[in-house]
Structure 1
């Protein structure tokens, strides 16, 4: 169980697409603070893809092609999207793969084991959980734990962007029996920003320091540490 990039060519193309629509925001001033507590000079808004029909279609076609083999090999029979961004991406992927769609609420609504899960699980459910971005994978691990309470099998998580920077992510995934699959990662996004000439000198230096040690950067800028 580990974190994988689905395809190097796919990663480069998705990174270019996100860069083209302005989904990668950077700052040399007040840092972004993620819900996980990490402080960062970059914020990736994959939701902008939802409004660009051509790029959205292309990225979701790439996603479907990339995971088709995984779905067949592991007998995955349903897609579960994370509230909220994962719902739209999950729906487009489920449509392409001909699979049922469900979504996982952030907080329970109602009572019982299905208080967070909306939709109907198939018999012998084997799930692919979908979200937009991950930093250290902790929220994806928590989501898998919630899904497993419904006696479902979930061993695979798909994200559009995995930062692939934060320490111990691989170990945590292994400990919780999860494979994390990503369409692209921060390294390819940074390369796309540079290739497009979208960074000035100060921005490039800030992102270089962040990439070299995101934990130290976070702590120095008021965020959590490892």
Structure 2
């Protein structure tokens, strides 16, 4: 393994994800992504909730991104389930109201799909742990707009940024995807954690997917 120096915030986030075991690489037994695709690589951002020091760095970086785009109060929305803890951390840090969006309406009570209080036409952002091709975000964005929340930004910890369909999905939803790190950043830092053989295989796989 070689030593790669961290040069920017995205590489710092990538280093955190690698150091606590969020990045999984297995070319023999592939993983199933939320999109349904099979992949030899998988990033599990859910693990971050168990690491307070690293989690704080992540939340601080995402908070900076949000504050750079929104100067006034907004509604922070978390997608069920992985987006809920991150939206909670962000809303607490920035002192913003929070709601969360169910994957489907609960089968009792008022049958709500969005939990929490908000005013119609309020500006809002969707918070998620990660995005692969962006397809799984369509439901959440549609639910927010149906409830008359104004949303034009999604914020995630990690974006795969290798599937050509991702940009098309974002354009279709008329939203911007903001992220802290991608596979490009993992690839740059991973020589500190994996063998050169695995690094070469990882690069080959990512290039293959990116090129369709």
Per the normalisation by structure 1, the TM-score is: 0.84
1:151 is paired with a residue whose SS is coil
Q: Distance in 1 between matches of 2:91 and 2:156?
A: 14
Within the alignment, does 1:48 sit opposite 2:47 as a pair?
yes
Q: Distance in 2 between matches of 1:152 and 1:112?
A: 22
Q: Deviations over 1:33-58 (max 9, x none)?
A: 11212111111111111111111111
Within the alignment, does 1:135 sit opposite 2:108 as a pair?
no
What is the deviation of 1:113?
Answer: 9.1
Per the normalisation by structure 2, the TM-score is: 0.89
1:107 is paired with a residue whose SS is coil
Measured at CA, do residues 99 and 122 of structure 1 come closer, stay the same or move farther in structure 2, by a change above 3 Å? farther
Query: How large is the RMSD of aligned CA atoms in angstroms?
Result: 2.1
Alignment of 1:27-46 (within 5 A): 27-46=26-45
1:96 aligned partner: 93
Match of 1:207 among 187, 194, 202: 202
1:9 aligned partner: 8
Match of 2:179 among 178, 182, 189: 182
Task: Give unpaired runs (5+ residues) of structure 2.
Answer: 1-6
Q: Deviations over 1:175-223 (max 9, x none)?
A: 22111100111110122211x1x2234422331222112278xxxxxxx
2:162 aligned partner: 165
1:219 aligned partner: none
1:213 is paired with a residue whose SS is helix
2:9 is paired with a residue whose SS is helix
Match of 1:115 among 88, 112, 117: 112
Q: Which moved more, 1:202-211 or 1:85-94?
A: 202-211
Higher relative contact order (CA 8 A, sep 6+): 1
Alignment size in residue pairs = 206
